[in-house]
Chain A
Amino acid sequence: MNTSLALVVAAAGMLLGIMTGRTAARIWLITTLVGVVAAATAALSVLNGADWEWRSGFTVGGELLHLRLDGISALFMMLLCVVGGAGSVYGSEYWSEIEHPRSARSGRLWWSMLVLSMGLVLVMSNGLHFLIAWELFALSAYFLITLDRQRSEVRAAGWLYLAASHTGTLCLFAFFTSLAAQTGSWEFGPMRDQAALSPLFWLALVGFGLKAGLFPLHIWLPSAHANAPSHVSAILSGVAIKLGIYGLVRFSGWLPMPENAGTVVAILGVVSAVLGVAFALGQHDMKRLLAYHSVENIGIILIGLGFAMISVEHGNAAWGSLALAGGLLHVWNHGLFKALLFFGAGSVLHATGTREMSRLGGLWRTMPWTAGLFGLGAVAICGLPPLNGFVSEWLVYLGLFDATILHESSAWEAIPAAIALGVTGGLALACFIKVCGIVFLGAPRSEAAAHAHECGKSMRSAMCLLAGCCVAIGLAPIVFWPAIARAASTWHPAWKVVQAPESLAPLGRVHVALAVLAITAAALLWRRVKHQGLKRELTWDCGYAKPSARMQYTVGSFAGIITEWFAFILRPVRHMHRPRGPLPHDASFEEHTPETVLERVVAPFANLIMRVSLIARRLQHGHVQAYVFYVLIGLAALAAIVIAGGGK
């Protein structure tokens, strides 16, 4: 199918989805899936062939429409299609009419709107239309986050998202208008030769960085991801924040870079990666924890991008293309496994009604599918072989190692970055051992967890699709390499052909061998259990003969040591009431990790603004007469200006 036709079908499918979303759930699902599949074929044909471009003969908002699908946007489009399609299937069961009669209809409508607007962001090649699509995307995400708006924390999360999102959009407005003012046109494309444009990159970094959620700008992300319905969290974390990355990749490739921009991006990446995972370790809420892992993974992607930018400063070294390829592949991978993990968390929430990990436990017995698929996602996100997370992180590592070996002192940044990446991987592993151990293993910690039930077919099939993608990229990375190489060569024209590292094909074979080994080991264990039967025994119990489910490791105790290391920034709040006396009673311990950046930095600043605005607000007192008086003063002032100006 040719690209234009596929995109028209995709847009038509999405529009039909928007129209039928409120009334016909089944038709909505079919049209949305058709649209998504059509968009995926378009993206595929671009990744395998030539760029697609279209200019309209008519104007929209005074500008000619200019659509473009090239290697980079097709890469993101592909991710959008996979997660968008899986999410529609998942959402049709997870947020069904029966359980959410108030919001299921609008949920479908805004879902189609969100997928469509994100697709528009990816194809728009005119600053004005890009901003319109961007705003549409931000608003549809807002309405999806606040689907469950009867709960006050959902409303608060929605407001925070909206405020942060619009701060970012403000920066983008400044960015695109200055770009248009300096180039004389709203259209954008490669403009590396205009050196005067380079300072604009900082505006783009803040604007897109707010959406991507890199470390100090991530304030909206944890609460929005935690409080949104799970399929919405999945697309927010899997695709929406990637559009921030898309913007950064796009404009770091097209604009001339200011000096040290690559280093700054890499440092932001390192900080996001390490602190993201540290904050994740401190969380007790399953979805909030996953949200902080998004910050971490955005950090990993930015390390890849940052080193690609550094390599351009060093004369287009080949290691830069490896780092960029790793970052871009991680965009896909994180989108896939994070959506899978959010679907898994949603399945747990659906079954038990709580996101508090300290109230869960032992779920693998009642929810084997969810437990298995979540476990698979956890292995992938920790960057362990043989899954996809390892492949992309390994490519970034390769880039960093080559930079160290080939450039010795001039690319010194690669050494600390590689170490930080290793630390991040280790901490992520600790964090997911915590999650899987607390939630799926052990004994149920509450009634709700004891009576959990497995999720239905739609939710399970959506998770299986994503898990299948994770396995496929892990076992056969060489198949997916051409798409990544195509995007990387689009980013920088000097890299006409990006060579696959020699070890990529063997890596796939090693992964297959590892997978076979793991499956064989599991089968042997299973056989042994079948053969000899299971035997239940008490664990080591400190001599206490009758242990209860409350005597298991808790969320806080599991990660206690590591959160201590990061106490300087996490600042965990602990309320301890120690047992006293020979026959103690009444002892308690409570711990939570605050949103340090939000509560210590942003909130005081916002309070200051509020105090100043309250003074101005005294002018607004409700006396109509005085309002008319303000109008009169305004008119008189205008007249005075005109008369004074008329004298010239």
Chain B
Amino acid sequence: MNHNLNLLLDVAMGLNLVSLACSRLQTLIRVMALQGVILGLMPLVMEHDLDWRFALIALATVFGKGMVIPLLLRRAMRKAHTDRELEPFIGFVPSLLLGAGGTIAALAMVNQLPLLPEHTGSVLVPAALATILTGFILLIGRAKAISQACGYLILENGIYVFGLLLLKAMPILVEAGVLLDITVSVFIISIVVDRIQTVFDSLDTRHLTTLRE
């Protein structure tokens, strides 16, 4: 079982790197959605006895992260008539290198961390750290609002992976609440993206500096 989980986590980490390297927003959203689906599958392979609650979480995650959110983002993108990240703050190659370095560092560091004995065998914690780092790199390094929204969602995926450690302790309500929050915030982001586009005639968040006091 743990072997399967690690496999999924490795794929997720690979997707992190893909998301850092791609310049087309369409691809970025697709990568993010795929990562969401993989994350949704994780609770299913983690446990020996399949509880209905885990099935529900998995279903909700796959549905939310894999379908609803990408749909909302794609619609915002189409409305704003952009499909490419043209002038990132941190270039694609440097961000790829940063992401790769971060992933390696997280994997190397895992032995230093004070973990519970049952978690030592899996790459759950390094994967979470690497995914959060990827989210941050996207948030810091990209100029377009939609790339940043994707960065934010990948960051959240990392937190979700962390949450898997606590799957048994965490009540289903909390997980559902988090998912609902994310969906709402993406909804808001897509509205904001639309507003930025109409006001500044571009999705470049650098224009937002004119709004400061």
Closest chain B CB from A600 CB (angstroms) = 30
Closest chain B CB from A85 CB (angstroms) = 44
Interface membership of B211, Cβ < 8 A: yes
Closest chain A residue to B211 by CB distance? Answer: A622
Residues of A within 8 Å of B112, CB to CB, are: 643
Is there an interface contact between A622 and B210, defined as CB atoms closer than 8 Å?
A: yes
Closest chain A CB from B138 CB (angstroms) = 9
Is there an interface contact between A621 and B140, defined as CB atoms closer than 8 Å?
A: no
Is there an interface contact between B114 and A646, defined as CB atoms closer than 8 Å?
A: yes
Residues of B within 8 Å of A576, CB to CB, are: none
Is there an interface contact between A632 and B140, defined as CB atoms closer than 8 Å?
A: yes
Is there an interface contact between B212 and A632, defined as CB atoms closer than 8 Å?
A: no
Is there an interface contact between A624 and B136, defined as CB atoms closer than 8 Å?
A: no
Interface membership of A625, Cβ < 8 A: yes
Interface membership of B95, Cβ < 8 A: no
Q: Which residue of B148, B211, B212 contacts A620 across the interface (Cβ within 8 Å)?
A: B212
Residues of A within 8 Å of B99, CB to CB, are: none
Is there an interface contact between A625 and B211, defined as CB atoms closer than 8 Å?
A: no
Residues of A within 8 Å of B113, CB to CB, are: 643
Give the contact stretch, choosing among B22-30, B179-187, B201-209: B201-209
Interface membership of B200, Cβ < 8 A: no
Closest chain B residue to A647 by CB distance? Answer: B114
Closest chain A CB from B182 CB (angstroms) = 17
Interface membership of B141, Cβ < 8 A: yes
Interface membership of A542, Cβ < 8 A: no
Interface membership of A629, Cβ < 8 A: yes
Closest chain B residue to A639 by CB distance? Answer: B129
Residues of B within 8 Å of A643, CB to CB, are: 112-113
**Chain B contact residues: helix, strand, loop or mixed:** helix
What separation, in Å, do the CA atoms of A643 and B141 have in the docked complex? Answer: 27
Is there an interface contact between A625 and B89, defined as CB atoms closer than 8 Å?
A: yes
Interface membership of A628, Cβ < 8 A: yes
Interface membership of A536, Cβ < 8 A: no
What separation, in Å, do the CA atoms of A626 and B143 have in the docked complex? Answer: 11
Closest chain B residue to A621 by CB distance? Answer: B209
Interface centre among A622, A625, A626, A646 (most CB of B within 10 A): A625
Residues of B within 8 Å of A625, CB to CB, are: 89, 139-143, 148, 205
Q: Which residue of A626, A632, A646 contacts B136 across the interface (Cβ within 8 Å)?
A: A632
Interface membership of A623, Cβ < 8 A: yes
What separation, in Å, do the CA atoms of A620 and B141 have in the docked complex? Answer: 18
Closest chain B CB from A617 CB (angstroms) = 10
Residues of B within 8 Å of A629, CB to CB, are: 140
Chain B: interface size category: 10 to 19
Closest chain B CB from A209 CB (angstroms) = 34
Closest chain A residue to B205 by CB distance? Answer: A624
Residues of A within 8 Å of B209, CB to CB, are: 621-623
What separation, in Å, do the CA atoms of A73 and B142 have in the docked complex? Answer: 62
What separation, in Å, do the CA atoms of A623 and B141 have in the docked complex? Answer: 11
What separation, in Å, do the CA atoms of A623 and B112 have in the docked complex? Answer: 35
Q: Which residue of A620, A622, A628 contacts B208 across the interface (Cβ within 8 Å)?
A: A622
Residues of B within 8 Å of A621, CB to CB, are: 209, 212
A46-60 with Cβ < 8 A to chain B: none
Closest chain A CB from B54 CB (angstroms) = 29
What separation, in Å, do the CA atoms of A624 and B89 have in the docked complex? Answer: 12
Closest chain B residue to A629 by CB distance? Answer: B140
A610-648 with Cβ < 8 A to chain B: 620-626, 628-629, 632, 643, 646
Is there an interface contact between A628 and B210, defined as CB atoms closer than 8 Å?
A: no
Instruction: Write out, one digit per residue, whether chain A residues 586-629 have a CB within 8 A of any chain B CB (1) or not (0).
Output: 00000000000000000000000000000000001111111011
What separation, in Å, do the CA atoms of A538 and B88 have in the docked complex? Answer: 87
B48-107 with Cβ < 8 A to chain A: 89
What separation, in Å, do the CA atoms of A620 and B148 have in the docked complex? Answer: 19
Closest chain B CB from A623 CB (angstroms) = 6
Closest chain A residue to B113 by CB distance? Answer: A643
Is there an interface contact between B139 and A628, defined as CB atoms closer than 8 Å?
A: yes
Closest chain B CB from A639 CB (angstroms) = 9
Interface centre among B136, B141, B210, B211 (most CB of A within 10 A): B136
Interface centre among B113, B139, B209 (most CB of A within 10 A): B139
Closest chain A residue to B132 by CB distance? Answer: A635
Residues of A within 8 Å of B139, CB to CB, are: 625, 628
Closest chain A residue to B206 by CB distance? Answer: A623
Closest chain A CB from B129 CB (angstroms) = 9
Residues of A within 8 Å of B206, CB to CB, are: 623
Closest chain B residue to A630 by CB distance? Answer: B140
Instruction: Write out, one digit per residue, whether chain A residues 358-391 have a CB within 8 A of any chain B CB (1) or not (0).
Output: 0000000000000000000000000000000000
A406-442 with Cβ < 8 A to chain B: none
Closest chain A residue to B109 by CB distance? Answer: A643
Residues of A within 8 Å of B210, CB to CB, are: 622
Closest chain A CB from B67 CB (angstroms) = 27
Is there an interface contact between B208 and A624, defined as CB atoms closer than 8 Å?
A: yes
What separation, in Å, do the CA atoms of A621 and B206 have in the docked complex? Answer: 10
What separation, in Å, do the CA atoms of A334 and B205 have in the docked complex? Answer: 60
What separation, in Å, do the CA atoms of A629 and B140 have in the docked complex? Answer: 6
What separation, in Å, do the CA atoms of A643 and B206 have in the docked complex? Answer: 35
Residues of B within 8 Å of A632, CB to CB, are: 136, 140
What separation, in Å, do the CA atoms of A628 and B139 have in the docked complex? Answer: 7
Closest chain B CB from A616 CB (angstroms) = 14
Instruction: Write out, one digit per residue, whether chain B residues 142-165 have a CB within 8 A of any chain A CB (1) or not (0).
Output: 110000100000000000000000
Residues of A within 8 Å of B211, CB to CB, are: 622
Closest chain A CB from B33 CB (angstroms) = 22
Residues of A within 8 Å of B136, CB to CB, are: 628, 632
Residues of B within 8 Å of A626, CB to CB, are: 140
Closest chain B CB from A340 CB (angstroms) = 45
Residues of B within 8 Å of A624, CB to CB, are: 148, 205, 208
Closest chain A CB from B195 CB (angstroms) = 15
Residues of A within 8 Å of B140, CB to CB, are: 625-626, 628-629, 632
What separation, in Å, do the CA atoms of A299 and B212 have in the docked complex? Answer: 46
What separation, in Å, do the CA atoms of A563 and B199 have in the docked complex? Answer: 60
Closest chain A CB from B86 CB (angstroms) = 15
What separation, in Å, do the CA atoms of A623 and B143 have in the docked complex? Answer: 10
What separation, in Å, do the CA atoms of A272 and B148 have in the docked complex? Answer: 60
Closest chain A residue to B136 by CB distance? Answer: A632
Closest chain A CB from B137 CB (angstroms) = 9
Closest chain A CB from B71 CB (angstroms) = 24
What separation, in Å, do the CA atoms of A501 and B140 have in the docked complex? Answer: 78
Closest chain B residue to A625 by CB distance? Answer: B140
Interchain Cβ contacts under 8 Å between A and B, 16 examples: A621-B209, A622-B209, A622-B212, A623-B208, A623-B209, A624-B205, A624-B208, A625-B140, A625-B141, A625-B143, A625-B205, A628-B139, A628-B140, A632-B136, A632-B140, A646-B114
Q: List the 5 closest pairs (A to B, CB-CB), nearest first.
A: A622-B209, A622-B212, A628-B139, A625-B140, A629-B140
Q: Which residue numbers of B lie inside 8 Å of A, CB to CB?
A: 89, 112-114, 136, 139-143, 148, 205-206, 208-212
Known pairs A624-B148, A628-B136, A632-B136 / 12 extra A-B pairs, C-beta < 8 Å: A622-B208, A622-B209, A623-B206, A623-B208, A623-B209, A624-B205, A625-B142, A625-B205, A626-B140, A632-B140, A643-B113, A646-B114
